[in-house]
Amino acid sequence: MKLSIHIAGVLCLLLGVVQQAKAQQPLYDESTIQKIEITFTQPNWDFILDTAKMGADGYTMAAKVVINGVEFDSVGVKYKGNSSYDSTYKKNPWNISLDEYKSQNYLGIKSIKLANCFSDPSMIRDVLGYSIARTYMDAPRANFAEVYVNGTLIGLYSNTESINKQFCSDHFSSSKNTFISCSPLVVPTPQTKSNLRYAGADSTSYMNNYELKSTTGWNDLVTLCDSITNKPASFENVIDADRTIWMLAFNSALVNLDSYTGVFCQNYYLYKDGTGRFNPIPWDLNMSFGGFPFVGSSNTSMGNLSITALQQLSPTIHATDKYWPLINIVMGNATYKRQYFAHLKTIVEEQFGSDKYILKSDTLRKTITAAVMNDNNKFYSTSQFQTAMTSNVNVGSYEVPGIQTLVAARIAYLQTLPEFKATAPTISVITPKPVQVGTNVTLTATITNANSNGVYAGVRYDKSDKFHRTYQMFDDGLHNDGAANDGVFGCILTMNKLSLQYYIYAENDNAGMFSPRRAEHEFYTLNAKMPTPKPGEVVINEFVASNSSGVTDEEDKYEDWIELYNTTNSALDLYGVYITDKFTSPQKNPFPEGTTIPAKGFLVLWADEDSTTKEYIHVNFKLSASGEQLMLTGSDNEIIDSVTFGAQLADVSQGRCPDGVGKFMEIIKPTFGKANTCATDVEITVEQPIVQVYPNPAATNVRVQTSLPGTQQLLVYNSLGQLVYSSQINGTLSIPLDVFAPDVYVLNIGNTQRTLVIAK
């Protein structure tokens, strides 16, 4: 068969896929505006939603919701928000629940949160704020959406990723633990703060100021508040100290006072991870950059600030005010305070000093300018939007500053502070060489201007663990650090597992410094020397994504499961291998030490988000019956095997026929841990040598990996059948996508074709 004929045939089959891929654009791509169309059968839909909002706050069923051309029926919809909602507004914020009445999602997303740009003449504060926040902490993705109801444009909204169980699973490797929304449920006043201040042992004392998002957890919240208020020495054991410090530094840098730092101590979430600590997650940034001027004082004052006061807001505000106990702890501890200012300086220098925020703002504003002009229900005029970077705008009783007006003066003010003028240590990390598991490894760095006892390494051996800050580094000539007092600090560790993640912190009496500067959010990684299976030696052989009446696990529960198969004639060690349900998070679940799979044998994993090893291995994610991804990788992110699957039937598996090498097909009677039963009337096609394309869809860069022998020719065709790229590949090739247009492409290597969706 000629290549051109084959490509034409593939492209014909892909016509529907192309259209669907273009419709199902990534929901949080900042360069695009989402189109969300809501259809109600009730002509008085607005009255119904207002009534529900003022009542039990339940969902109303929309007959249809269309997202970027993808249609969903029977969708839960309601208004959301406090100060941003009003029954008289034509443009209220929305909460859309795709799976409220039936199982459905958009690219795995089930909940959509849309804010109406209230109190933000620039229309970009939410999206810009989250873009900055994600650089330093776990925070939602965000972009813009135009919302239509019954064919009428309501207006332009910011579209922010929901902080829900899926978010927790993606960021903290679990979603079953205590999960709390920290914002008052009553009309907020200076007396109603979600500040983690202890209010007694009775959990009902907390229920007006916090909302439990998990099944249980009130006692956990009471214990947390008791520890924060009465046992500050336990700070690092009950809450992630570094994430807390980053959040407080972020609030100060952006003068984000509709937050824990402001009068109501609100708009953040807490999730308790597997280490037993709570993780703070910022929320609702539409009033960042000085859009909310109420800093508060004690539990009586709103603390209304002028624009000048916002620009010159002290980074140590509330340092001794007992109604902000988190800030009390950070400012009352010399090391925490130096770390706080190190993080604050990093944000200011990286985002503001380089004018990065201006470039980002310009890009966002260009993206939405036409949509803003078409928005007849926006809260500000088009001219106010156009000048919102440099002009102040009246909002009721106060003014919202122009973003640049605020930031320029804030930089000037901060640079006058002693903490900003102080000379911090310098750190030059020396990259250690990989060693075998169980042997010693030395971490070293050249450091200047640090106290001799003020240098340590933060270390952990697994992403789901916490960084331990107990590894002091020495310049004494006794820790593989060279000569004593030569400026090289070292510490000796045991390589306990396959991966060691670390950062280095140094301080003197006046300032601290991290390396990398964005630690603990970013860190260095050292992988141990460990042979892992090669591509194709271990494969995903069978899986069930909807188990309602099949086999049960050790606790007699019907859980999803995944079966692996060893295609070789030798037992293989899976220590150093990872399995994930997201191509963008390749090391989501590591296999525990001692995990082996016999020659020509099977290994079954329970996908129940349990992360424990009992009779079987349980992994830290579940499978989606509506379709998702599975991937096996080595410690160096080499793809061993992967599969992308669509919607699944209950109690029906997808399995390779024959085992290990065949294509996936439905198996009506799943074969848990056994050879797959292949239908006799189905032609079995053994797959060609592996070609992997990762990630897929892709936006900025794609990696192609093949096990075909020798150097191969790679040809890439667009949806019109035109050759747009060619190269040589021998094993692995990384391709930048800056010159590729959004489209569905066919990659041809030898006689093997793969599709690639590029969505920017």
What mean pLDDT, rounded, does the chain reach?
91
Structure confidence by residue, pLDDT tens digits, 291-319? 999 999 999 999 999 999 999 999 999 99
3-state SS of 567-626 is: CCCCCEECCCCEEECCCCCCCCEECCCCCEECCCCEEEEEEECCCCECCCEEECCECCCC
> For 657-696, what is each residue's pLDDT tens digit?
999 988 899 999 999 999 998 765 444 444 445 677 877 7
Sequence-separated (6 or more) residues with CB below 8 Å from residue 140: 130, 134, 160, 161, 162, 163, 167, 281, 283
Lowest mean pLDDT among 8-17, 50-59, 506-515, 684-693: 8-17
pLDDT class of 10 with cuts at 50, 70, 90 = very low
Task: Answer whether residue 159 shows pLDDT above 90.
Answer: yes
pLDDT digits (tens, 9 = 90+) for 419-462: 999 999 999 999 998 898 889 999 999 999 999 999 999 999 98
Q: What pLDDT, on a 0 to 100 scale, did the predictor assign at position 585?
A: 82
Using an 8 Å Cβ cutoff, are 312 and 288 in contact?
no
Q: Tell me the β-bridge partners of 456.
A: 472, 505
Dist. CA 423–CA 418, nearest whole Å: 10
pLDDT for position 416: 98
- Residue 751 pLDDT > 80, yes or no? no
User: Mean pLDDT throughout 262-267?
Assistant: 98
Q: Which domains does the chain have, with CATH numbers?
A: 1-26+697-760 (2.60.40), 30-161+355-389 (no CATH), 174-353+398-420 (no CATH), 424-527 (2.60.40.10), 538-687 (2.60.40)
CA 356 to chain CA mean position, Å:
22
pLDDT reading at 744 higher than 90: no
pLDDT of the residue at 22: 43
Residue 480 pLDDT greater than 90, yes or no: yes
- Using 50, 70 and 90 to split pLDDT, how confident is the model at 760? low
Which phi and psi (to 5°) does residue 684 adopt?
Answer: -90, 125
Q: Which residues of 116-144 are buried (b: 16+ CB within 10 A; e: fewer)?
A: bbbbbbbbbbbbbbbbbbebbbbbbbbbb
Spatial contact of 588 and 579, defined as CB atoms under 8 Å apart: yes
Q: Are 438 and 481 in contact (CB under 8 A)?
A: no
Give mean pLDDT, residues 204-219: 97
pLDDT at 611: 67
- Per-residue model confidence as pLDDT tens digits over 31-42: 999 999 999 999
pLDDT > 70? residue 536: yes
How much is the average pLDDT of 538-564? 93
Long-range contacts of the stretch 555-561 (C-beta < 8 A, 24+): 557/608, 559/606, 559/607, 559/608, 559/622, 560/606, 560/607, 560/608, 560/622, 560/623, 561/604, 561/605, 561/606, 561/607, 561/672
CB contact at 8 A, 652 and 544: yes
Phi then psi for 526, rounded to 5 degrees? Answer: -120, 120
Percentage with pLDDT > 70 across the chain: 94
Task: Please give the pLDDT value at position 683.
Answer: 46
| Cα 131 to Cα 406: distance, rounded to the nearest angstrom | 18
Q: With bands split at pLDDT 50, 70 and 90, how would you rate the model's confidence at 46?
A: very high
Q: How far is CA 467 from CA 500, 501, 569, in A?
A: 10, 8, 40
Model confidence at 8, pLDDT cuts 50, 70, 90, reads very low
Once rounded to an integer, what is the mean pLDDT over residues 516-530?
Answer: 92
CA distance 169 to 167: 5
- For the segment 561-571, what is each residue's pLDDT rounded down to a tens digit? 999 999 999 98
pLDDT of residue 13: 39
Mean pLDDT of 557-585: 91
What are the backbone angles phi and psi of residue 125, rounded to the nearest 5°? -55, -45
